[in-house]
Structure 1
């Protein structure tokens, strides 16, 4: 989306003195504002120990902000905190300019990044649910006249509608998202019938997921050094050495205290993570906030019920660290748990592919078997499972089948035929 209000001058208000669990990162706040297209006119640190019900901050600080807005000719004031609708309205009246909170800022960035039909629907849904309680009096008129950060996006024209029309629109969007979700599930079932394992990239925003995705899939997904560079989910088929085809999904990056409305609105998108066979948790190895970012990703995965999906940690950007070479870390059983790479410099990619193959091949049989003519029924059922990748024939009429099949599916078939997997491969597998 083109920024129709470039260079909006913004005063950023960061609230300090709060409990560590709810305190936001001031540096991340500035990156969010820049990602939205704001020009930071001033950054204000406010010590807040007791929130003010009317303004969130004290009336004295409000007056200081009003004077700063006038002096800096600021277009808006952005708070690194969630404001209630009444606090937002009270601040706008007192400061005589637009006021935006953290949720509105993130929603605006999402509005700029959405490209697909599904992504635009999800953004509009989140925007409408967020602004529904804020559509009163002058705010509705202001938003309809000015646009700008926090006010643009697919749902912008709905800002002038009353709450009844908003409820109708929200219902329409939810119905459309249900259809999109059903279509996604059909596509997913098709991949599952073909027994193609699903791998999903997850991680904090701006950790290099899209750069890694582009290299592995030879795609051109938008990748940039900014927060939420990727919003829409992208799924590609990719060949992993010694394993075969997998589907790789690139998903929206997570963030500290991701607004609940966004978790709900993007649930259909995040289902690619829920239904994956393996999660690649991409981590910015050189970030000073690395441990906190890892914690936030696990929190969101719990919210979308994906915390029990097998995970491989991918520590990216090692080219920015001293004396760190690409390598695989393993647990006590020798299973890969962490890979250190640089997607930008294409270092350690082969090790990552090796680790993916090791983790996924535990669930897949890849073998060549020979079946004689009396076993045509078993041959037919293997074809029904889409387990046969290649077939040839010997002089005596036997079928030589190159198989790639989920262990659970083959074990079920062999059990029905009265054959154990061990006997099947011991008797039929070619060297």
Structure 2
């Protein structure tokens, strides 16, 4: 069975390179290169140096000119690097040309992210999604991976039958391509089963009428920490990129007694490969189908505005741009400059300032959720005959029962009731509490 090459297990020192083509892009290019350093470090690879190169035009062969490419290769050799990581996306042919020139392993930003995802995936679903994305990425690069066999076998030179003969490497490539296609097809089939299972789970939630919110945002913004703080659960929350790849849904209770389901989603990153968005659609569709979104931002990040825009772009790609959104400026406890706080309030006037780590602002956040869902519940009093104990059970199961008293043969119940079951109890309703 063909497997994608596990480069992180083979390399120790990396040279990071970002090539940009417009002087106006320099600041963003520097920021992206810094982020690439965090991504590469997440794989446990030492970063020897990060360099920014400007090319006057984009060259088809190597992105930059051959002279600049040769400088990059010499710098990598001087640092005794065993991998060059180019932040720009590389076409398969460009990757081959770089490796031919450098005689080193050369990878791009997408491959780094794919390798991180492969290491982070825990559940069967996450592993399937990563496998699909990695195979789709590797398929057009198989010739590069089997280049060492090109010199073996007969080749297709001149002479009788020369054009029809096939070398050993060519045959192996064909086998690997077929196996890769089979793996892609199998992963797609199994992910379709996952989607159907999620659809069944959503139907059950809809039947109960429980509101649902999806937590979205840039990777390492504190989404899992917020979920843990709100629900009392212990979802893995670490100060690292892409700590969460699997969706986790937990239940919490709002101040008005209404239940709320919260789903943590995979974090976003700038230039997130489109194939990863596609592969994780089974997971990300939780955001599309949620009643509203909770957009978590790292208030302490100097790049917060850009990270905010990245999430908005991904949500638009998913078709969730019209959802109601509660913006949470998380890690606000790390922002100690009064001027910086004032600027945040000016830029994001409706945002909730919070710290999932300390608990600061969590009550304000829950009140914001309550306001969004205000029309979904009513506080009501009921007089229910004891022979209709089934309705009392319904209230205990699907509503928030505030008090229960007995008056003769009747049960007096005060409860916060979702609209989904209010109609079944209307006959027994008294004046609102």
Q: Say if 1:43 and 1:373 are closer, same or farther in 2 by CA, change over 3 A.
A: closer
Residues 204 and 255, structure 1, Cα contact 8 Å, conserved in 2: yes
Q: Higher helix proportion, which one?
A: 2
Q: Does 1:346 align with 2:353?
A: no
Residues 353 and 361, structure 2, Cα contact 8 Å, conserved in 1: yes
Q: Does 1:38 align with 2:51?
A: no
1:209 to 206, 223, 229: 223
Residues 11 and 74, structure 1, Cα contact 8 Å, conserved in 2: yes
Partner of 1:397: 409
Partner of 2:198: 184
1:163-178 correspondence runs (5 A): 163-178=177-192
Q: Does 1:219 align with 2:257?
A: no
Partner of 2:127: 120
Residues 3 and 37, structure 1, Cα contact 8 Å, conserved in 2: no
Partner of 1:310: 324
Residues 15 and 46, structure 1, Cα contact 8 Å, conserved in 2: yes
User: Residue 3 of structure 1: CA displacement?
Assistant: 9.9
Residues 330 and 356, structure 2, Cα contact 8 Å, conserved in 1: yes
Q: Deviations over 1:261-301 (max 9, x none)?
A: 01110011011211212211001112221111111111111
Q: Distance in 2 between matches of 1:291 and 1:217?
A: 28
Aligned alpha-carbon RMSD (Å) = 3.5
1:48-87 correspondence runs (5 A): 48-87=55-94
Q: Say if 1:337 and 1:188 are closer, same or farther in 2 by CA, change over 3 A.
A: farther
1:290 to 295, 304, 319: 304
Partner of 2:100: 93
User: Residue 400 of structure 1: CA displacement?
Assistant: 3.6
Moved more, 350-359 or 277-286: 350-359
- Structure 2: tracts of 5 or more residues without a match: 1-5, 150-171
1:255-404 correspondence runs (5 A): 255-322=269-336, 337-371=350-384, 383=394, 387=398, 394-404=406-416
User: Residue 134 of structure 1: CA displacement?
Assistant: 0.4
Q: Distance in 2 between matches of 1:323 and 1:49?
A: 40
Partner of 2:248: 234
User: Residue 326 of structure 1: CA displacement?
Assistant: 10
Give secondary structure in 2 for the equivalent of 1:162.
helix
Q: Does 1:29 align with 2:42?
A: no
Q: Distance in 1 between matches of 2:194 and 2:379?
A: 34
User: Residue 36 of structure 1: CA displacement?
Assistant: 2.0
Q: Which structure has the bigger radius of gyration?
A: 2
Residues 379 and 432, structure 2, Cα contact 8 Å, conserved in 1: no
Partner of 1:428: 430
Q: Deviations over 1:384-406 (max 9, x none)?
A: 99645559574443344455544
User: Residue 6 of structure 1: CA displacement?
Assistant: 7.8
Q: Distance in 2 between matches of 1:308 and 1:235?
A: 22
